[in-house]
Amino acid sequence: MRKKIIAGNWKMNMSFDEAEDLLFNIVDKLDPNLPKNIEVVVCPPAIFMELATDVADDSLMKIGGQNISNHESGAYTGEISASMLGSLEVDYCIIGHSERRKYFKESNQLIGEKVTVALKNGIKAIFCCGELLNEREAQNHFAIVKTQIEEALFHLDEKSFRSVVIAYEPVWAIGTGVNATPQQAQEMHAYIRKLISGKYGAEIADITTILYGGSCNSQNAKELFANPDVDGGLIGGASLDAEEFLKIINSI
Ligand code: PEP
């Protein structure tokens, strides 16, 4: 059975005290009988990572980073390496988020290097892909996502690919309040699974977790997650409120 995941991307939000409150609120209210195939991942800003892994210790909550360097170590002022995250027992890292692509000019090639370095250090990658609005309007959305996946992931061998989670996040849906329809999400997720099957075979495609992200909230989560190829969500704004995030978790 493939894993289902609800991951919260806090982006650049929260003070230390707010982060502590939110982390404890999530951990304290997580259903202790959460089915074994469902994972909850919280991705706070890097400065709160040690706090987050401490709070998450012995709980059902896993912790993820939001970004890492493509370099292993060395003179890269301000950067955070995969091995640093690993040393704090961080399980996941979001890689290739559209905000990184847009504001930090991350290319598919660079994102691919980050995925490689994450996996090498035992960090599972939550790899983000998705088209811009004008690309969808021009009916180019499948081609764009195909290129993003091929250029950033398909250098991986089969064993490494097993540690990749894909998040389909149409850029026009991120932070806009306009989510993809369940049909649009399912159609793209099925397409992504077919791409994976073509490269790694049906068995790997079948166990790959593919998340939907983009204005997912407690109102629309159930309908989105009901699709056969939607294995959970990457949640931005709605993950900043414990009640709302827990409702989304309970929608899966
Ligand atoms: C995101 O940033 O990954 C995201 C999905 O944001 P939001 O849920 O706020 O649209």
Question: Which ligand 1 atom is at minimum distance from the Cα of 167?
Answer: 3
Q: Which residue's CA lies nearest to atom 2 of ligand 1?
A: 236
Question: Which ligand 1 atom is at minimum distance from the Cα of 175?
Answer: 10
Q: What is the pLDDT along the chain (252 residues), one digit of tens a residue?
A: 899 999 999 999 999 999 999 999 999 999 999 999 999 999 999 999 999 999 999 899 999 999 999 999 999 999 999 999 999 999 999 999 999 999 999 999 999 999 999 999 999 999 999 999 999 999 999 999 999 999 999 999 999 999 999 999 999 999 999 999 999 999 999 999 999 999 999 999 999 999 999 999 999 999 999 999 999 999 999 999 999 999 999 999
Distance (angstroms) between ligand 1 centre and the Cα of 75 equals 32
Which residues are within 8 A (CB) of 61 and not within 5 positions of it... i.e. 6 or more apart? 23, 26, 27, 30, 40, 41, 42, 55
Q: Which residue's CA lies nearest to atom 7 of ligand 1?
A: 236
Of the candidates 39, 131, 169, 244, the residue annotated as catalytic is 169
Decide if 169 is catalytic.
yes
H helices of 154-219, in order, are 158-161, 182-200, 202-207
3-state secondary structure of 176: coil
CATH class of 4-249: alpha beta
Give me the residue spans of the domains in the chain: 4-249
Distance (angstroms) between ligand 1 centre and the Cα of 236 equals 3
